[in-house]
Structure 1
Amino acid sequence: MIGWLGILLLGAALLLLLWRFAGFRGGALQMAAATVLIAMAGYAWQGRPALESRPAASKGRQQLPDTAFAILRKEFFERFTSSERWLIIADGYQRRGDTGGAVGIIRAGLRTTPRDIALWTGLGNALVLHGGGTMNEAARLAYRRAAALAPEHPAAPFFYGLSLIQSGQVEEGERVWRRTLAQAPAGASWRPVIAERLEVLDQLRAMSGLPRPGATPPPQ
């Protein structure tokens, strides 16, 4: 949690500077706090602050970073499956910035295994990326399909929440996360994946004085 603590301290320091030196008060300070919250949430859903720093890669052939789905799906799905092979190929397309190609690869996999929840969840993520990082109806339908195929599986609501946060809909995504965590078995290996990110949002919200959102159901 040291990395997360650093993030929280940075956010608190920024709000303190705005309050003390920029004269932010009342609604202006709350608006600034909300903006910082969205930025922190964006890092919370994909960032990995515990990793050691690395020198920047050379600019010969730049690639985009892995998506949150590529990083975190091992917490929810088995590895070395047929669906994982399709998703790894799609990851490669996404790193090159070819989001349309990634969507096409996952759809090809679904033609082979149309009831695979990992592929449907991955399709939702790919469609959000292909839409410029905005939640869209096609992505919602993909997440709903994954949830309908396995109502008790946490992957669809978790990554649906991530995509909402990626789209800037932080409160809606957080509500989905909280509902998913509340329904999780006590010993579920993926609980910390959600709990850590919610803890970051809770602490930042407490420092900024923003209210906690209510409950919203996962995609159905």
Structure 2
Amino acid sequence: MSWTAAILLAIGAFALAAFVLRAPRRGWEAIGAALLLGIAGYALQASPGVPAAPKAPRERVGGNADAWVEARSQVTKSGIPPSDRWVIIADALARNGQFASAAEILRGATSADPKNGEAWLAMANALVSHADGTLTPASLYAYRRAAAAAPEHPGPPYFLGLAMAQSGRLEEAGTLWRRLLEQTPPDAPWLADLQGKIEQLDAIVAAQRSGSPAR
């Protein structure tokens, strides 16, 4: 019965993503692969015949990606419109560490609508997470497309600066963030976070120049 339930759940999840949420057809393979991976993990690790025993929760895999998804929601404050159902699917994949699958879903979304800035931004973040926090040419291209699609959107410069900082391009990140700070309204919910990041970045850069460790 447990196997039947697992297979039916996987089929139902695929049908929901493909036909109800209308994920792009080119992303169906990625969704199917993610579901098959889940079934394979169940086959390797599940023990349906063993009585349940409560355990302390473990730290989630892909917590960094989960933080990036939440941060994008906080910075944009725009929500995801119904037409961006594939962004919702991609966010769910990214939260579970399936960055390549998320990027593939978003690639289909941006092919269908090249002006979808939210999808470009989500793709850029997924690509950065897939590269272990490194800014790659593909993610840089996605950030630039996101900025071109929505020039007034704070998300692209905010997250591009974050990716630059993680990749060691500190001064470039500082320049980008200071430019964003000049354009940020005083009541923006991300203002304090942005100011704090700039102060931390400036301290690190100053410490590197002086040869002393940053505090």
The CA deviation at 1:111 is 3.4
State the distance in 2 between where 1:100 and 1:209 align. Answer: 34
Partner of 1:196: 196
- Aligned equivalent of 2:24: none
Specify the alignment match of 1:123 in structure 2.
Answer: 123
Runs (5+) with no aligned partner, structure 1: 1-54, 212-220
Q: CA RMSD in A?
A: 2.8
| Aligned counterpart, 2:43 | none
TM-score (norm 1): 0.59
Q: Which moved more, 1:68-77 or 1:171-180?
A: 68-77
Alpha-carbon separation, structure 1, partners of 2:58 and 2:171: 38
Q: Which letter does structure 1 place at the counterpart of 2:98?
A: D
What CA distance in whole angstroms lies between the structure 2 residues aligned with 1:163 and 1:100? 17
Amino acid at match of 1:69: W
Contact preservation (8 Å) 1:69, 1:122: no
Describe the superposition over 1:56-100 as per-residue Cα deviations: whole angstroms up to 9, x where unpaired: 7338xx522042431211221412423664333223323433221
Contact 1:69 1:125 survives alignment (8 Å): yes
Larger Rg: 2
Q: Is the 8 A contact 1:66 1:91 kept in 2?
A: no
Matches for 1:7-156 after TM superposition, within 5 Å: 57-58=57-58, 63-67=61-65, 68-74=67-73, 75-82=75-82, 85-156=85-156
CA–CA distance in structure 1, aligned partners of residues 177 and 102 of structure 2: 26
Letter in 2 for 1:73: R
Contact 1:134 1:166 in 2 (8 A): yes
CA pair 168-183 structure 1, distance change in 2 beyond 3 A: same
> Once the two structures are superposed, what CA deviation does each residue of 1:170-197 show, in whole Å capped at 9, x if it has no partner?
2321221111112223333332231122
Listed one character per residue, the Cα deviations across residues 44-63 of structure 1 (whole Å, up to 9, x for unaligned) are xxxxxxxxxxx97338xx52
Instruction: Provide the C-alpha distance between the structure 1 equivalents of 2:122 and 2:80, rounded to a whole number of angstroms.
Output: 16
Alignment partners' CA distance in 2, 1:138 and 1:204: 27
Aligned to 1:165: 165
* Unaligned residue ranges in structure 2 (runs of 5+): 1-54, 211-215
Q: Which amino acid aligns with 2:170?
A: V
* Larger CA deviation: 160-169 vs 73-82: 73-82
Shift of 1:204: 5.8
Normalised by the length of structure 2, the TM-score is 0.60
Q: 1:131 to 1:98 in 2, by over 3 A?
A: same
* Amino acid aligned to 1:181: L
8 Å contact kept, 1:83–1:118? no
Aligned equivalents of 1:101, 1:156: Cα separation in 2:
21
